[in-house]
Chains A and B, each alone.
Chain A
């Protein structure tokens, strides 16, 4: 083939250009840290990375939800722990009050303590978490339980909430209730809105005040309440445990997903650096040969 000067120059320039392009591409990858910076770099990979990003983000949201549910459950659990303590004390008082040898003043003092226990339980039932009443069902902004009296003067505690559940999502389509409604926890009759749980304490207080009543009659219903509270606590504990496991699962899932994403889109720095060094060497070689081939012509050897 005939080789002309222009061809030599053109070939050298073409090769230099191609080398520079490669260098530029590698440099870009190394400085951005990404192999895929636009869909055309790898259409399949780009779409997979998008999917992985979305999944990871969604999983993080579910992890957030589980943490929030767990916080609610743990707060409720603590409240029921205090409620159990209150009933244990009430039981002691009932047992003590049932023995016939007490002076009326002592019984009055005990009735007074039961009244305090009612207030304390009220405080527990009106617990709030992050500005929301946890036992109000969907009525999270209204104090759920308050002391009141019936038209005939008898004391009651009424409920202002509903049995609404706060259902939050922990994985696609799976919902878990973060709360126990006051209605369920404190035995509220949906029609009268009166709390059976509080009624037990009110009855005990009445029995201590009324010499004709036997406070020992309350022991059975107090025991029932304690059992009820314990079973709720057990179910809360189980749910909280489930959230714990869910969180572990999400975090290990996300580690896997992130590593797949990284494999797809991140630059292997060692490999990139090596490729870069190699490409640079090739570029230098091209420059050197270019400088040599472009010089001589026949003219250099004529007088």
Chain B
């Protein structure tokens, strides 16, 4: 037979449970705008009944099984995967945009226009080889062109340095996130050991994992005890409450990432960190190399033709350009000092009597005609790639086509990055919508719950009052 006061106990348990539910709902409402928060639900279960012979099972009220957060961890994994890809493409897009600014094409100020002006000045010189102002124009357009190439090369170098810095910053970010995650692991394990659900701590850890996913690709595995272990490229980063940090080290000219403990190079294949490394070592490096080849090609073909001509001082075999690549190409100093040294003539300008025949501009024209010369890539004597005139039968590309080729590669890469960012953004926001649909706080819903629980609480209290009345009848009004 049930005890006299069992009903009290049932009502009180009911009131307590409804109160917890109200508290949880108000916790949800309070965190409606907290990023990364997932709504929580009090899981109510009926208390174990006791059997009453001949009657059946008698209920004993309600118990709180747990307060659980509502979250789809599979979706978390999907979102992180896409965030990693988004992070990578965002970095690529931003940096490729920057390269597009460094090589402003198509425009009236880009290298292609400087190159065209340079060839045109030789055309003019072929018509007025004896004119010092026209000779000066050739030197000036040559200086503008070499300066343009050097400036672009310097800015690309600067971008390389900037990307090195980004790599450093991202590694610091990874280490900091890893430490925070390890710290939360530690707390979560402790709470779980006591049999509780550390919902808010887990939300915070999930948020950190999202942040980490933006920076780098990783594998996460949740352990029995509630900790999440993280590894990058198969190498552990976080194990329980322990972190193994990354550091940067110079490998050749670039800053690379290695593990602090065993000194191995880290294998990075996604996220902002990978984006920065990939732009720097693949795309940027490619454009730098090609600009170098272009500069050397310009130097070599112009010099070769220039050396065959004669200047107004009766000299031949003189170079026009100097330098080893895009970073230091320049017009020869003696030509800058004395424009009469430009070899515009195809014959000796001083005849046997010492008279000067300055009117021959055939070599200047030969240089101007290099504009339409097909070129191919070859190794020079120092083992660097340069451009050289192709034989009649073979096909090649003109100098401005080599340059246009760089621009076209850049355009395609940049366009791809922009498109990928758009796609990833759409994907991430769609997945986040789904996550929000599952875990987000709906004010309407919570207010409805609050009312619902309030009514239940009131009803429990009412039941208590009725029991109280019944006992009052039983104890005070009977037997007297």
Contact = CB atoms under 8 A, between A and B. Distances in A.
B230 interface: no
Interface in A1-23: 1-7, 10-11, 14
B408 A46 contact: yes
Contacts of A10: 429, 432-433, 436
A1 B437 contact: yes
Interface stretch (A51-59, A113-121, A232-240): A51-59
A167 interface: yes
A81 interface: no
A54 B400 contact: yes
Nearest to B100: A38
A64 B97 CA distance: 38
B410 interface: yes
Given A3-B437, A168-B126, A298-B447, A140 B358 contact: yes
Contact of A40 (B32, B368, B369, B414): B414
A46 B106 contact: yes
A167 B442 contact: no
Interface string A239-253: 000000000000000
Given A43-B412, A169-B365, A54 B116 contact: yes
Contact of B112 (A50, A162, A175): A50
Contacts of B451: 302
| Nearest 8 pairs of A and B residues by beta carbon | A39-B411, A43-B411, A40-B414, A140-B359, A4-B440, A138-B359, A138-B357, A49-B106
Contacts of B110: 50
A132 B359 contact: yes
Interface string A153-190: 00000001110101111001101001000000000000
Contact of A132 (B113, B130, B360): B130
Nearest to A44: B408
Contacts of A160: 355
Contacts of B127: 65, 68, 166, 168, 178
Q: Which of A42, A53, A142, A160: most chain B Cβ within 10 A? A: A53
Contacts of A215: none
Contacts of B113: 53, 57
Interface residues of A, number: 56
Given A38-B101, A38-B411, A169-B369, 18 more contacts: A4-B445, A5-B32, A38-B100, A38-B414, A39-B410, A40-B410, A44-B408, A47-B404, A50-B400, A53-B113, A58-B119, A132-B359, A164-B359, A167-B365, A175-B365, A265-B106, A297-B447, A298-B447
A96 interface: no
B272 interface: no
Contact of B126 (A46, A138, A169): A169
Contacts of B414: 38-40
A16 B120 CA distance: 50
A65 B123 contact: yes
Contacts of B100: 38-40
A274 interface: no
A122 interface: no
Given A7-B437, A140-B359, A297 B365 contact: no
A141 interface: yes
Given A44-B408, A299-B447, A142 B120 contact: no
Nearest to A296: B444
B89 to A, nearest CB: 13
Given A7-B440, A137-B357, A164-B359, A40 B97 contact: yes
Given A47-B407, A47-B411, A137-B359, A57 B120 contact: yes
Interface string B393-417: 0000000110010011011101100
Contacts of B448: 298
Contacts of A40: 96-97, 100, 410-411, 414-415, 418
A276 interface: no
Given A7-B436, A46-B407, A51-B404, A166 B415 contact: no
Contacts of B368: 169
B361 interface: yes
B106 A164 contact: no
Nearest to A2: B437
B49 interface: no
A4 B407 contact: no
B407 A50 contact: yes
Contacts of B404: 47, 50-51
A257 interface: no
B82 interface: no
B415 A6 contact: no
A172 B113 CA distance: 18
B211 interface: no
Contacts of B400: 50-51, 54
A2 B408 contact: no
Contacts of A41: 411, 415
B32 A6 contact: yes
